[in-house]
Chains A and B, each alone.
Chain A
Amino acid sequence: MKKQSDLQPAPSSVFHCTVNGEDVQLRLPADKRLLAIIREDMELTGTKRSCEIGRCGACMVLIDGKPVNACLTMAYQCSGKAITTIEGLARPESLHPVQQAFLDEGGYQCGYCTPGMIISVTALLEDIPNPSEGEIEEALSGNLCRCTGYGGIVRAVKRAIDQRRERP
């Protein structure tokens, strides 16, 4: 059984960061998980919870442009960082090109892995605009999908790559 001392929450402090471009100040225990902060405190539920051990990628967000598992990230690690969730990708008038590619190719079924998958693809293409098959596999092997068998996902990634290439 837990000792009483274990049950004391870590003392709260104030953290500043931006989430989807907006300044955010939160008073939180330093070890609170970013996933809980996003989903519960900020009520942005596009970021999903599934394994909570960094294996499935359902919780993927961008921190300063790099894909990170929000379930493994603690509040103090976000201090001063720019966080982008799936809700921050689309513009009011149009989907992000990666989102559009997933929509066009049917790169999703139940959709539960999709936000995390799209975040990982976005990060990949920012990093390597024209990735090889091997690079795609490597970049996405931390994102599990149980529904699609990845066929539609791979087609969506390729479409996103092609469209990026066509854009000036």
Chain B
Amino acid sequence: MLLNRQSSGERWRARPDGPGKVTGALAYLTDRTAPDMLIGRVLRSPHPHAAILAIHAEKARALPGVHAVLTYRDVPGLNGYGIAVQDQPVLCVDRVRYVGDAVAAVAADTDAIADQALSLIEVEYRLLPIVESPAAALADGAPLLHGDGNILHRTDYKRGDVDVAFASCTHIVEEVYDSPRQMHTYMETEGGLFVPEKDGRLTVHSPTQHGFMDRLQLSRITGMPEERIRILSSPIGGSFGGKDELNVQPYGALLALKTNRPVKIHNSRKESVRAGLKRHPMVIAMKTGIDANGAILAHQVKITADTGPYATLGAEVLNFATEHALGPYRYGSVEVDSVSVYTNNGMSGEFRGFGGNQAIFALEGQMDRLADACGMDPWDFRLRNMRESDAPGPFGQPIAPTNGAKQAWDALEASSLWQERRQNESAATVLRSESSGGMKAPWLKTGIGAAFIMHGSGLGVGIPDPGGGRIKLAPDGKIEVQFGYEECGQGLLASLELMLIEQFGFAPEDLRLVIGDTDVVPNSGSTTASRATTMMWKSLQRLRPGFQKELLAAAAALLGLPEELLRLGRGGIWNSRAIGENRGNRGREADVEYADLAAAAGDMAGIDISGIADTGSGNAACKHGADVDVTEDTEERLLLTYRALAGKTPRPIVAETSFAFPASPFPRTGAHYLYTFAAVAVKAEVNTLTGRVRVLEQYHAVAAGPVVNPQGYLGQIEGGSIMALGYALTEEALMQQGQYATSNLDTYLIPTIADAAGEMAIEPIEELPEGDNYGPRGIGEIGSVGLAPAILAAVHDATGKRLNRLPIDPLQLAERPAFT
């Protein structure tokens, strides 16, 4: 069933953070200010590669209105950061390696003064040769960007002998796939407010996907104990992986501590482009061979990633790409060799899809070419080579059994879009534009293509992947739920609220959802890798029995009723519908006169035995309470509010859980255990006069288990897909000689509403294998993967041209018009 508002019924709800967002009342962290606040700015290197000979900050320091000018000498702790490896200098000492490298930081009364102060800092540089590309970095005699060379990380995987296998292949396809430097382009640029507190602590209001990681990193840099730092990290105006790593936080923190004044930093878009992370450009060479029946015998992959000047998560992204270059297919033999290389280009790092987008673009291109080679339909070819439901993962690792591949394949096969393509095929019309679009301008050609995606969730083997959360009855009677996950816009709060309503029976107004505050929430790991929804679901599953039992036991004691007669509901504790029915078994001691209840209730502030008309039961009987024997009654009633319960219970009622994301028992770092599958079909139109491609229609099947939150699910797939549209058609942060050729949204083109036009159908496949209790899989990333390769397939269907580079270059599709 297609997912939309109608098919979701009552599960389609206004998000708890919605009113603040549509009214503008919600203050983002970059909207916050404090009295006496200073403005912080960072001086960044103008050169992609240079030695620093001297930094003269005296003039800037002397400027009236300037309160601090910091250089590397002013970093009290570790002058380095990075989630995995701390090799990125907070403030550069003797060398800069990219145009975003920070050399000094300033705090001043106003932005204009801060700006002037930056211009007064004189830095003497000696230019060094620029390492422009991975190829240049790997060449003999290349300048070394780090002490141990230009290679951040190498990884490989081998099964069987591909050379032997290639010898017996009937067809071999070799291709090199080139993918661009894509920018996250979160609408809210990096920034925050940094407040030194009276007691010497530091409060950081700044978006991140993992508050506790920021706390750890800032503790290293400032030398302050972690507990002295408080990170407030939600709401976030978009992140997509780009704000997981530190950005402005070290400068804000150091400036605030130095001046003992609140400091605000909010990057301009230009600075965000220059300093921020991008998706790794990768060059992926694939050689794949099949036998006469279309079975893949050998698959050889070489991945080269441009990771830029520092590590951040470059190694982890490469591991992920290596795994995902294999995908949901069976191979006789496999060999992958991957390398992530330092250059003087911009920083590459974590980005939605995490290396899977590049790998799957290449892999799916390969599948289409192989199908061509053996004359098979491309979708049939994928089925021919598809993994079995109980097959191990790409690295041969044990994974949770899944039939997702076949489910997604079947769904796409049955889709009207793919059926249309099948009909086009069999009609064998010469002019596809006529067959599928009626009479059209002859330079407009339409085609339909598809792609298949297998995407891992969680961080994988060997990487700490904690999860957990806390639920309690707060003193004011709210059910307070605390998680260390962040609201980046994905709808985390809405998903959490809906789960609490559905699993526990609470109403929205009973709840207080607490996230994004390291002083309060448990450390439940990062909000990345499509893991937060799964973790919250699992946490609630684990929390529910204990918490529910404690609440009911406390209520039972107060009410003098057996626990079994009670249940959680809107507003408080209700009598269970089963009371009357079960009465015979329980005997007389279970009987409590309603009058007793009412009397017991009388001295409890907040008890409410009326006003429950909105439960739908139309129950008006409560006012006759004194006459009613609750045990005789199958009507449901609210007996005790949560507030009354909180006021009366002798000790706090709290439940907490922590556990690890399911991982494969397998000795290979990063190998995944849970996988999500998707299939994407797209109809695209190529204008052969201009070479421009327009997407007309999309179909997405996503096999990720139950839909937790329909609105969020739809939004994630739609939003991810349009991000992939940009990846396929327009987005590239080009670099020339280590400088960004684009600095703002006038030349870096993300899709507009006009580009994103066209129908999009989304079909969730909710069924999981029997006995699977890993719960719903995250879908935050998978939607951003498949559209790009599917568009390339559609372009081929329309024009007969196979392209191997993203974004599509219109020049490759434009044809000289023939007027006959």
Contacts and interface: CB of A to CB of B under 8 A. Distances in A.
A95 B17 CA distance: 15
Interface size range on A against B? 35 or more
A99 to B, nearest CB: 4
A63 to B, nearest CB: 17
A144 B491 contact: no
Given A87-B25, A102-B22, A151 B489 contact: no
Contacts of B23: 46, 86-87, 89-90, 95, 99
Interface in B1-39: 5, 12, 14-15, 17-28, 31, 33
A1 B756 CA distance: 43
A146 B238 contact: yes
A47 to B, nearest CB: 7
Given A50-B189, A87-B23, A110 B235 contact: yes
A136 interface: yes
B719 A149 contact: yes
B504 interface: no
26 contacts: A2-B119, A7-B112, A43-B33, A45-B27, A45-B28, A50-B745, A52-B269, A55-B745, A56-B187, A85-B24, A87-B23, A89-B23, A103-B22, A110-B489, A111-B20, A111-B235, A115-B24, A138-B754, A146-B184, A148-B719, A149-B715, A149-B722, A150-B753, A151-B718, A151-B719, A153-B753
Contact of B745 (A43, A56, A153): A56
A85 B24 CA distance: 9
A57 to B, nearest CB: 10
Interface of B: 5, 12, 14-15, 17-28, 31, 33, 112, 116, 119-120, 184-189, 235-238, 240, 266, 268-269, 488-491, 711, 714-715, 718-723, 725, 744-746, 750-754, 756-757, 760
Closest 7 A/B residue pairs (Cβ): A46-B24, A110-B489, A111-B21, A149-B722, A112-B237, A86-B24, A109-B489
Contact of B490 (A85, A87, A109): A109
Contacts of A47: 24
A115 to B, nearest CB: 4
Contact of B24 (A7, A45, A143, A144): A45
Contacts, number: 182
A111 to B, nearest CB: 3
B26 A111 contact: yes
Chain B residues touching A, majority SS? loop
A162 interface: no
A147 B24 contact: no
A147 B238 contact: yes
Contact of B721 (A49, A99, A149, A155): A149
B192 to A, nearest CB: 14
Majority-rule SS of A interface residues: loop
A103 B238 CA distance: 18
Given A51-B745, A58-B187, A141-B752, A95 B22 contact: yes
B21 A144 contact: no
A140 B753 contact: yes
Contacts of A89: 23
A52 B268 contact: yes
A56 B238 CA distance: 14
A80 B489 CA distance: 38
Contacts of B236: 110
Contacts of B745: 50-51, 53, 55-56, 144
